[in-house]
């Protein structure tokens, strides 16, 4: 008998019909002789509706009360899914985050799971019950309800799979797996049978929009075998696990991220400590910097450019304007008409030609490269926003056709 954790997002349980469909998937898995734990998010627009109610009353409500409010959304969906499974005649129990033993730190609205006290879950599984667990939520040491922030329900599912040594953690979404590129952008995109944690992490971070990187990091840490698959179609998905056949494909996928802005400090005197000052100030304000480029300017000066996500653009600009005189910089420049395009693949570690092939494809497509960043398993380039779609198709054609 295997233990399978299945996670369904908000769109998968948006209405009664969808809930019944999920109940069918869950009970089919159970009927094959598996123990099943299901993690669900709040229904479709529930979270947005609750946020709107809060905004109307107090736009500056405390995060503690926001967590109290929003966690009711998953409580509704677990009860409804349990009712649907009861209707199909299977034994089932719904459990809130605290009932399922999710203990978190005390950071409201963005808490981390500290441990899962799994006695209750094990007791229910032992009695043959399907367990429906509210994702995205837990309690802190004061017994107050917390929520896990973005990607929370995926993380809940992986954490349960890790704590209970599940054989498989299935993430059901509205796509049927991980593709070599976004199928909406690249016509020839191909679904991957499997991908390693590291490759998935690079793709998640780079905007592939399938899984939040937090859940993949946790899956990697605890070696949880994941599968991404569609709740709409009965098709095999993409396996995410430690060892995959890196020889099979040179690169695993092409990703694009438009949520990026480039900032530059122009004409800083070429003295030690300038970069430290800039990036330590940004870090102290919790602004994540992605690609960094430093170049020699004229007359013993240098230019420093870096990228941040667009929501941090203004805060980063303010910091640079404040530092401008201290640093002796000539100008601060900002551009958010940019896009980051990346290729990811563990295979490139032993194949030095990947970068050259990527740059060749971009050159032939007449796309100018503004910045370049590389890791062991990925190469990213910053280009003009208007070139983004052309670039991703050119690169995908070069590697996959």
Q: Which of 26, 37, 38, 78 binds its own copies (CB under 8 A)?
A: 78
The strand order across the sheet containing 102-104 reads 113-116, 102-104, 137-139, 145-147
Which pair of structure tokens corresponds to residue 364? 């032939």
Smallest gap from residue 233 Cβ to its own copies (A): 22
Per rule CB under 8 A, is residue 125 in the interface with its own copies?
no
Under a CB-based contact definition with an 8 Å cutoff, are residues 342 and 255 in contact? yes
Per rule CB under 8 A, is residue 56 in the interface with its own copies?
yes
* Number of Cβ within a 10 Å radius of residue 381: 24
127 exposure class (CB count in 10 Å sphere: 0-12, 13-18, 19+): exposed
* Number of Cβ within a 10 Å radius of residue 117: 13
* Closer residue to its own copies, CB minimum distance, 71 or 264: 71
Three-state DSSP state, 154? helix
Q: Which of 45, 105, 106, 120 binds its own copies (CB under 8 A)?
A: 120
* Closer residue to its own copies, CB minimum distance, 91 or 328: 91
Distance (Å, whole) CA 71 – CA 81: 16
Q: Which of 2, 28, 48, 86 binds its own copies (CB under 8 A)?
A: 86
Name the segment binding its own copies (CB under 8 A); options: 60-68, 157-165, 270-278, 361-369: 60-68
DSSP 381-398: EEEEGGGHHHHHHHHHHH
The strand order across the sheet containing 292-296 reads 292-296, 301-308, 261-269, 331-335
Smallest gap from residue 28 Cβ to its own copies (A): 18
Q: Which of 3, 34, 45, 64 binds its own copies (CB under 8 A)?
A: 64
Distance (Å, whole) CA 266 – CA 211: 37
Site residues for its own copies, 344-373, by CB under 8 A, read none
Q: Between 210 and 249, how does the x/- string for binding to its own copies read (CB under 8 A)?
A: ----------------------------------------
Name the segment binding its own copies (CB under 8 A); options: 72-80, 244-252, 266-274, 380-388: 72-80
Smallest gap from residue 61 Cβ to its own copies (A): 4
DSSP letter (8 states) at residue 191: B
* Number of Cβ within a 10 Å radius of residue 122: 15
In angstroms, how far is CA 98 from the centroid of its own chain? 24
Per rule CB under 8 A, is residue 80 in the interface with its own copies?
yes
Smallest gap from residue 140 Cβ to its own copies (A): 12
- Name 340's bridge partners: 257, 382
Per rule CB under 8 A, is residue 99 in the interface with its own copies?
yes
The strand order across the sheet containing 253-257 reads 253-257, 338-344, 378-384, 369-375
* Closer residue to its own copies, CB minimum distance, 92 or 394: 92
Distance (Å, whole) CA 46 – CA 62: 19
Per rule CB under 8 A, is residue 75 in the interface with its own copies?
yes
DSSP 53-68: HHHHH-TT--HHHHHH
Q: Between 132 and 171, how does the x/- string for binding to its own copies read (CB under 8 A)?
A: -----------xxx--------------------------
Per rule CB under 8 A, is residue 3 in the interface with its own copies?
no
Distance (Å, whole) CA 94 – CA 73: 14
Per rule CB under 8 A, is residue 20 in the interface with its own copies?
yes
Can you give the length of the chain in residues? 401
Under a CB-based contact definition with an 8 Å cutoff, are residues 191 and 169 in contact? no
Name the segment binding its own copies (CB under 8 A); options: 26-34, 85-93, 270-278, 289-297: 85-93
Smallest gap from residue 14 Cβ to its own copies (A): 12
Per rule CB under 8 A, is residue 24 in the interface with its own copies?
no
- Name 332's bridge partners: 265
Smallest gap from residue 96 Cβ to its own copies (A): 8
Q: Select from 164, 147, 171 the least CA-distant residue to 7.
A: 171
Per rule CB under 8 A, is residue 51 in the interface with its own copies?
no
Per rule CB under 8 A, is residue 258 in the interface with its own copies?
no
* Closer residue to its own copies, CB minimum distance, 144 or 193: 144
- Contacting residues toward its own copies, per CB under 8 A: 16, 19-20, 50, 53-54, 56-58, 60-62, 64-66, 68-69, 71-73, 75-76, 78-80, 82-84, 86-87, 93-94, 96, 99, 120, 143-145
């Amino acid at each position: 008998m295997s233990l399978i954790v299945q996670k369904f997002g908000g769109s998968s349980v948006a209405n009664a019909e969808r809930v019944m469909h999920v109940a069918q998937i869950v009970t089919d898995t159970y009927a094959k002789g598996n123990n099943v734990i299901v993690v669900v998010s709040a229904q479709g627009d529930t979270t947005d509706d609750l946020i709107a109610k809060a905004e109307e009353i107090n736009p500056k409500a405390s995060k503690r009360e926001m967590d109290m409010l929003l966690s009711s959304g998953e409580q509704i969906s677990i009860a409804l899914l349990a009712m649907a499974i009861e209707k199909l005649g299977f034994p089932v129990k719904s459990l809130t985050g605290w009932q399922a033993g999710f203990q978190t730190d005390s950071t409201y609205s963005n808490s981390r799971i500290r441990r899962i006290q799994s006695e209750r879950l094990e007791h229910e599984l032992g009695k043959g019950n399907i367990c429906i667990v509210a994702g995205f939520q837990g309690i802190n040491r004061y017994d107050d309800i917390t929520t896990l922030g973005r990607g929370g329900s995926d993380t809940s599912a992986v954490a349960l799979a890790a704590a209970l040594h599940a054989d498989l953690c299935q993430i059901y979404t509205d796509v049927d797996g991980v593709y070599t590129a976004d199928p909406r952008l690249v016509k020839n995109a191909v679904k991957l049978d499997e991908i390693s944690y590291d490759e998935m992490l690079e793709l998640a971070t780079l905007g592939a929009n399938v899984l939040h990187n937090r859940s993949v990091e946790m899956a990697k840490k605890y070696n949880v075998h994941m599968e991404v698959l569609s709740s709409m179609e009965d098709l095999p998905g993409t396996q995410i696990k430690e060892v995959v056949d890196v020889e099979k494909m040179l690169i695993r996928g092409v990703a694009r991220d438009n949520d990026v802005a480039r900032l530059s400090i122009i004409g800083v005197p070429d003295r030690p400590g300038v970069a430290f000052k800039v990036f330590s100030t940004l870090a102290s304000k919790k602004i994540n910097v992605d690609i960094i480029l430093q170049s020699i300017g004229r007359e013993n000066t240098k230019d420093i450019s870096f990228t941040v996500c667009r929501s941090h653009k203004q805060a980063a600009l303010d910091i640079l304007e404040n530092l401008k005189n201290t640093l002796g910089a000539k100008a601060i420049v900002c551009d958010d008409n940019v896009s980051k395009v990346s290729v990811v693949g563990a295979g490139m570690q032993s194949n030095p030609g990947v970068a050259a092939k990527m740059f060749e494809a971009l050159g032939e497509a007449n796309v100018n490269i503004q910045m370049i960043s590389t890791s062991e398993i990925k190469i990213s380039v910053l280009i003009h926003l208007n070139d983004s779609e052309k670039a991703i198709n050119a690169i995908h054609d070069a590697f996959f056709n």
